[in-house]
Structure 1
Amino acid sequence: MTDVAHTTLSPGSSPATSARRPTLAEQSSELRIAIMRLARRLRQERTETELSASQFSTLGWISSEGPLTIGRLADLERVTAPSMNRTVNCLVDAGYATRATAPDDGRKVLVSTTESGEAIIRETRRRRDAWLAKRFAALTPAERETLADATTILGRIIDQ
């Protein structure tokens, strides 16, 4: 006998063809698991460096946003300033980032990427985009449209 509390929609089924709709909690759980698995898989598509995931993420923020203070990086990564300072120290020691005094305020230190840091970011983004593009190419146009809609929706969820 099927346990109705644990029944979920199979891929490709719709509420109209299924015995019941999944609950909000079930949908949330399934989405969380899918996003975590996708994120984990995408993290595997990166250049061969000794950077941790948090170091790479920090380097990505610096690359995307330009020179940033330790405090701003800590806010973006949702960590403490001392923790971010350790992360930045590792990036600087590895030659992927530099520290410089802010031109407008000598008390502030700005962290920037070096050319080798930018190269790691570019190559990793290229690999991740290529991995996704290969999988997107195998989808139907309707599935790609659904993912485009989901991307917009996920962006709204993130920004709430």
Structure 2
Amino acid sequence: MLSKSMSASVFPASPPADTSLHDAASDLRMATFRLARRLRAQRAVDTMSDGQFAVLAALHIHGGHTLGELADRERVSAPSMNRTVNCLEESGYLTRTADAVDRRKVNIELTDAGTSVVTETVRRRDAWLEEALAELTRKQRATLAAASIVMRELAER
């Protein structure tokens, strides 16, 4: 059961001034999360967490990083990132090597196996989405194409 103060913050006593904007935001949030969940389910390694895959994808897209850089990029603590990197290293998806210039730094890079996981997961996700889009009308696909531009702009704020 929610406390009175908790229920007031979760369930406001009066609706927001612009209910239609509030409803649109809520609908968009829920639809985005549901679609993202469906896409995340399409992965090459079923036992890999979303956080682990995010690390592999970041290394695939942006190249090698230090532990601190990865932690900053993924907005997690260094100890949390260290646990993730340890697991991925034990699984053979990435390597740690001492920096040639600054021996205090350790560079983290993808292995061929890590690259394969990223490539296959992206292929599966694109294939799932392509199949889903094929079931829509041309007008619906055009609407989604336009919406994706706006969603990208929102995400980059």
Q: 2:152 aligned to 138, 151, 155, which one?
A: 155
Residue segments in structure 1 that go unaligned for 5+ positions in a row:
7-20
Give the match for residue 131 of structure 1: 128
RMSD: 1.8
Give the match for residue 114 of structure 1: 111
**Matched residue SS, 1:23:** helix
Separation in 2, partners of 1:47, 1:145: 29
Q: 2:23 aligned to 22, 26, 42, which one?
A: 26
Separation in 2, partners of 1:49, 1:105: 37
> When the two structures are aligned, how many residues end up with a matched partner?
142
Give the TM-score of the pair, scaled to structure 2. 0.84
Q: 2:142 aligned to 145, 148, 154, which one?
A: 145
Give the match for residue 98 of structure 1: 95
> Partner letter of residue 83 of structure 2?
R
Identity %: 45
User: Runs of at least 4 residues of structure 1 off by over 4 A?
Assistant: none
**Which of 1 and 2 has higher RCO (CA within 8 Å, sep 6+)?**
2
Give the TM-score of the pair, scaled to structure 1. 0.82
**Structure number having the greater strand percentage:** 1
Deviations 1:44-80 (A, max 9, x none): 1111342111111111111111101111111121111
